[in-house]
Structure formats: C-alpha cells, structure tokens
C-alpha cells in the first residue's frame, strides 16, 4: 500500500469537508489560467498545485523532469514516464503537502507562487487519447438492452466469455464544461420505408468510467490480468453520449458508429490507480468460468459511487441515477488483458471506457434508454417537465467518489450541455 494513501495523513493546505481531493487523492490534470501556459496540476482541496512552477523552483529535482513535460497541453508525456516514476512523483507531492513537512509550506510566498483556486482556473482535456475503446461490461446494462430487443434471450452467447467492446473515436472526446450540438443522421422512422435525415430525438447519456494507460509492451506482446495495474495510470468519469435512433438503424452488422462518435465527455482530473487501491472490492461471481487468460487473483472491482443529474436550462438539478462501479461483471484488469491478448499495442494516454454502469435497482440504470425503458416511462424533473431522452439546453452531470475509513477520494464531475442541432 502506498504511504500516500494513509488515512491518517493531513495537509497544511486546508481541505474542505466533503472535498473530493484530500491529500490521499492527488489526481493529475491540465489547467490554464491568466498569463500561464497550459500545465500539469494536482488537485488538493479547492486548490490546484502547479507542478511546472514546483519543478522550475527545484522542488522536483529528484525526478530530473524536463520543463516541457510539465508545461504541456496534455498529460501524455508525463504518463510516458511510466508507473514507477509517476507513482514516485505522487508520493513526493504527498510528502511535500503533509502538515509537518516545512519544505514547501515555509518557502517564501509558497501559496501564491504554487497554488491556484480551482474556481479560478480553466481545466483542459487531460490527455490526447490516441486510441479509445469502449467496453460493454455491465451485466445489468447488457441484459436490460438485450431484453428490449430479445425478451427471451437478452444476453448474447459470447457475453460471459468475452469483455465485449468496440473501437471508438478519440477526436471527439471533450472535457467537462465543453458543450456540443445535437447530432443529425439517418433515422428509420417506419419499418419498410426509407430512412430520413434529421436531428436525433433520442439523445442519451451513458454513465461510464474510463481508464487511461501507460505505454504497453511492444506490439505482438500481451498484458496479463496480473500485470494490468502496471499499465494503467488512472481513471476518469466518462459520458458516452449516444443517439439511440441513429444507433438502431446503423448498428447492423458492424456495431456503433455515428450514433456514438459526435461527443464523449470526460472529467478533468485523472485519479491514479494508486489512489484507488484502498477501495478495491470483490466483483460478481463469473459463471461460466472464464478462459485462462481472463482469470485473475484478488479483488479487482472498485467501489466507486456514481450519480447522474439532469439540469434543464435555467432550472435546478434532478438526480436520476445512483449506481456503483463495483457492479461491473468484467474488471479493468480483464478488459486490458483482453484488449492486448492478440498483440494489440497500447500507448500512453489511450482511453478505455467501461461501458454503461447500471446497478440492479431501477434507479441505478445508467442511461435514459433503461431509466425510461425506451421512453415508455418518462422521468419527471423537479421543475415539473418530463424527459424520455435528453433535450436541448439540458446539462447532464456525472459525479463519482470512493469512501472508506473516513477518507473520500473523488473524481469531481463531468458536465456537458446539449445545444440545438446546427
Ligand atoms: Ca458506451
């Protein structure tokens, strides 16, 4: 266990109660503020610690980092340093921030020179993902969707053998706070008639997380389930926006395409796998038994509470879903082992979505498709309006956090607003 995860640690930077970012978290992101180029920051309480400034003034000399790694628009070059080094940087920052450590605390003008209020900075997309995979690993979600189309046989025969996934589009991944326009596309309005071209009327969110990898071994080699943690830098919250009406017409026979690639939103802070270690838990029993390369030892699911809210334009938020990452059937070690079992190369900054995370209870479903059961049971917002799917002007917010031994390690949020089609 990393000593930076010790629940007894306190920082000399005051951390508000209920903050997602105590000293035990220290997630990495990219921020920008007046007069400063984009750079690597670490969240602590309601502050951002400026790693580029720390490095320039000699607080990170042990790591011999070129300035360009930390004064950078993305975390990719930092992640390229590999697990040993990025973990050691987090441990060192933990030391510097501990209340009894005077090195940074008592440096002249330290708070002004090295910290910014999170509320005063702009968070940028943390990584430039070269490749992006989306899995489909929640049994509740796969069963719900399957049941709508195949009531007698909801799960396909491959589902409990393969962590099913597809290759998505990395160019349209956006960071929390960025908005996007409702997509247009081909939609089949009536069976037996030609499709029409128009704006989607069944725009949906998908509650997901995503993990981000380090550089993997050479192409042709694989990552085993027991090696997977060495190749995973951290996780973010992920909203895999989906247009159900476009999806329904296009997905045969090759799967998701334009219904999925117009926008996918992620949270700005990458919570390291190191910080998540205390929250590992057992996953569901996998029956039938998985093939050998997918077997694993020890608890590999992670207890991350998740919630989704909808904010209609100018109105207050209505929480529509409470779920948890612990319900996933396939864990991230298995997903990465499966991704690479054929020799597929993984690179620093690549992203892997979990698939929609639906909990067993009906208020735990991770998409409108399931919550309203294809629009049959609309949800009522606090302002009295109803929703079958997501409307123009709606903002969808996903939050996620872990809690154990009085320590809350959170992700912050991912929030995006839907603008009218153009
Ligand atoms: Ca998805």
- Specify which residues 39 forms β-bridges with: 31
For residue 24 the two structure tokens come to: 């035990």
Q: Would you name the residues annotated as active-site residues?
A: 141
**What mean pLDDT do residues 321-331 have?**
98
Distance from residue 168's CA to the centre of ligand 1 (Å): 9
Separation of CA 57 and ligand 1 centre (Å):
43
Distance 231 CA to ligand 1 centre (A): 22
Across the range 205-228, mean pLDDT stands at 98
- DSSP classification of residue 370: H
Residue with tokens 């009906």: 362
Q: 245: pLDDT confidence band, cut at 50, 70 and 90?
A: very high
pTM over 0.85: yes
CA distance 263 to 177: 13
* pLDDT value at residue 112: 94
208 to each of 7, 328, 362, how far by Cα in Å? 27, 11, 17
Question: Of 34 and 92, which is predicted with more confidence?
Answer: 92
pLDDT number for residue 151: 86
pLDDT confidence of residue 224: 98
Question: What percent of the chain has a predicted confidence (pLDDT) above 70?
Answer: 100
Q: Is the pLDDT of residue 1 over 80?
A: no
Region for residue 109 given its phi and psi (left: phi exceeds 0; alpha: psi -120 to 50; beta: otherwise): left
- DSSP single-letter state for residue 251: -
Ligand 1 centroid, distance to 285 Cα (angstroms): 23
- What's the average model confidence in pLDDT over 281-295? 98
For residue 342, the model assigns a pLDDT of 98
pLDDT of residue 185: 98
Kindly give the distance from the C-alpha atom of residue 324 to the centroid of ligand 1, in angstroms, as a whole number: 16
20: which 2 tokens? 């997602």
The Cα 186–Cα 381 span in angstroms is 30
Residue 410 has pLDDT above 80, yes or no: yes
Cα of 217 from ligand 1 centre, angstroms: 27
Output the CA 264–ligand 1 centroid distance in Å. 9
What is the arithmetic mean of pLDDT over 101-107?
97
Residue 35's pLDDT band, with cuts at 50, 70 and 90, is confident
Q: Which CATH number fits domain 132-419: 2.40.160.10, 3.90.850.10, 3.40.50.720, 3.40.605.10?
A: 3.90.850.10
Residue 98 has a pLDDT of 98
User: 3-124 sits in which CATH class?
Assistant: mainly beta
The whole-number pLDDT of residue 408 equals 98
Q: What is the whole-number distance in angstroms between the Cα of residue 208 and the centre of ligand 1?
A: 7
What was the pLDDT predicted at 150?
A: 84
Ligand 1 centroid from CA 23, angstroms: 32
> Is residue 152 scored above 90 in pLDDT?
no
Span 226-244, average pLDDT = 98
Return the closest-CA partner of residue 336 out of 222, 416, 241, 412. 222
Half-sphere exposure of residue 99: CA atoms within 13 angstroms, side-chain side: 8
Q: How far apart are CA 311 and CA 320, in angstroms?
A: 10
Check whether 153 has a pLDDT greater than 90.
Answer: no
pLDDT mean across residues, the chain? 97
Cα–Cα distance for residue pair 255/110, rounded to 1 Å: 53
The yes-or-no verdict on residue 45 having pLDDT over 90 is yes
Q: Where are the domains of the chain?
A: 3-124, 132-419
The pLDDT tens digits of the residues spanning 331-370 come to 999 999 999 999 999 999 999 999 999 999 999 999 999 9
| DSSP of 175-243 | ETT--EEPPEEEE--STTS--EEEE-S-EE--EEEEEEE---S-TT----TTTGGGGEEEEEEEE--EE
> What are the phi and psi torsion angles at 281 (to 5°)?
-150, 170
How far away, in angstroms, is 354 Cα from ligand 1 center? 7
CA of 241 to the centre of ligand 1 (A): 8
Q: Give Cα separations from 30 to 93, 112, 370 (angstroms).
A: 16, 19, 34
The model's confidence at residue 2, banded by pLDDT at 50, 70 and 90, is: confident
Question: If pLDDT is split at 50, 70 and 90, which confidence band does 189 have?
Answer: very high
Q: What is the mean pLDDT of residues 29-49?
A: 96
Distance (Å) from CA 42 to ligand 1 centroid:
28
Q: Give 55-87 pLDDT, tens digit per residue.
A: 999 999 999 999 999 999 999 999 999 999 999
């Amino acid at each position: 266990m990393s000593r930076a995860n010790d629940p007894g640690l306190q920082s000399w930077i005051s951390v508000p109660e209920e903050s997602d970012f105590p000293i035990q978290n220290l997630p990495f992101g990219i921020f920008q503020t007046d007069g400063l180029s984009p750079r690597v920051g670490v969240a602590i309480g309601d502050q951002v610690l400026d790693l580029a400034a720390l490095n320039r003034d000699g607080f990170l000399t042990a790591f011999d980092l070129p300035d360009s790694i930390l004064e950078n628009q993305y975390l990719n070059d930092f992640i390229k340093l590999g697990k040993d080094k990025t973990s050691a940087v987090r441990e060192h920052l933990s030391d510097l921030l501990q209340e009894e450590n005077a090195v940074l605390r008592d440096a002249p003008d330290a708070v002004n020179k090295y910290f910014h209020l999170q509320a005063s900075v702009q968070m940028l997309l943390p990584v430039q993902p070269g490749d992006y995979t989306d899995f489909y690993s929640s049994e509740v979600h796969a069963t719900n969707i399957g049941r709508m189309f195949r009531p007698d046989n909801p799960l396909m025969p491959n589902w409990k053998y393969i962590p099913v996934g597809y290759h998505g589009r990395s160019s349209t991944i956006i960071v929390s706070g960025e908005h996007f326009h409702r997509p247009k596309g081909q939609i089949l309005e009536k069976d037996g008639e030609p499709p029409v071209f128009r704006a989607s009327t069944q725009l949906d969110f998908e509650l997901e997380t995503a993990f981000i990898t380090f550089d993997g071994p050479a192409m042709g080699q694989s990552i085993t389930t027991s090696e997977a943690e060495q190749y995973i830098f951290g996780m973010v919250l992920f909203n895999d926006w989906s247009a159900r009406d476009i999806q329904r017409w296009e997905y045969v026979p090759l799967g998701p395409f334009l219904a999925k690639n117009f926008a996918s939103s992620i949270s700005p802070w990458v919570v390291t796998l190191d910080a998540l270690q205390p929250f590992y838990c057992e996953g569901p029993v996998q029956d039938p038994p998985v093939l050998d390369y997918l077997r694993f030892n020890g608890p590999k699911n992670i207890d991350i509470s998740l919630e989704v809210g909808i904010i209609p334009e100018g109105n207050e938020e209505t929480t529509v879903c409470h779920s948890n990452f612990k319900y996933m059937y396939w864990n991230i070690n298995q997903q990465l082992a499966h991704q690479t079992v054929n020799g597929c190369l993984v690179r620093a900054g690549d992203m892997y979505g979990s698939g929609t995370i639906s909990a067993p209870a009906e208020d735990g479903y991770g998409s409108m498709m399931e919550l309203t059961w294809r629009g049959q049971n609309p949800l009522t917002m606090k302002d009295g309006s109803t929703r079958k799917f997501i409307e123009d002007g709606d903002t969808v917010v996903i939050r996620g956090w872990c809690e154990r031994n009085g320590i809350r390690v959170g992700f912050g949020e991912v929030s995006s607003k839907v603008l009218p089609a153009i």
